[in-house]
Chains A and B, each alone.
Chain A
Amino acid sequence: NAGVMQNPRHLVRRRGQEARLRCSPMKGHSHVYWYRQLPEEGLKFMVYLQKENIIDESGMPKERFSAEFPKEGPSILRIQQVVRGDSAAYFCASSQPLAGEYEQYFGPGTRLTVT
């Protein structure tokens, strides 16, 4: 029973390039969350998606960042024209499609380094 998969685990991009981070949720999970974590800091919520829908993107920067969770395939977090400040660990989490509270299962993260 595979957990949440993220790839790549490490990504190096030069300033101005695009970064694409992929997340495959646990089997049976249709809710995906993306978080950003800077060293020695907590997880910062970015976006919450269900299949083909963005439910809450209040944590996403207004420019350069976008996320999708298509009907088929993984969820993608896309960062265009990366800057050094985008360097961080990006975590994806998934949860079950139940009403009410439910725990989130996290992936191992993608560590993005912008040079």
Chain B
Amino acid sequence: SQKIEQNSEALNIQEGKTATLTCNYTNYSPAYLQWYRQDPGRGPVFLLLIRENEKEKRKERLKVTFDTTLKQSLFHITASQPADSATYLCALRNTGGFKTIFGAGTRLFVKA
């Protein structure tokens, strides 16, 4: 069956450290993968998109990697800040498909 999985346990890290979140998928062939941030009571906000032929993408303190062999994407936030505390969602669209499939998200807490 098709699955997209993120760590269900919350990630607690100290301010200034690097947060690393994992997204694994099974039985999909995504053309690209996206990462979103969602704060409580609000809609998700797009952060980064990485295509299947890209290994790594960066934007300010954010970095995403995409390994189609391992079927995994890693999302890194360097020099984390308490304001980075939120739920982070990964999402993919299957090649040739129309709908975007979201993972359940990983909640990140950054302590000052």
Contacts and interface: CB of A to CB of B under 8 A. Distances in A.
Q: Do A and B bind each other?
A: yes
Interface in A23-41: 33, 35, 40-41
Interface of B: 31-32, 34, 36, 41-46, 49, 51, 89, 91, 93, 97-105
Contacts, number: 54
A45 B91 CA distance: 11
A42 B46 contact: no
B43 A107 contact: yes
7 contacts: A33-B99, A45-B100, A56-B99, A93-B44, A101-B31, A106-B43, A106-B44
Contacts of B44: 43, 91, 93, 106
Contact of B34 (A42, A45, A56, A103): A103
Contacts of B32: 101
Nearest to B42: A108
Contacts of A105: 46
A38 B31 CA distance: 27
Q: Pick the most buried of B93, B100, B103: most chain A CB atoms within 10 A of its CB.
A: B100
B49 A109 contact: no
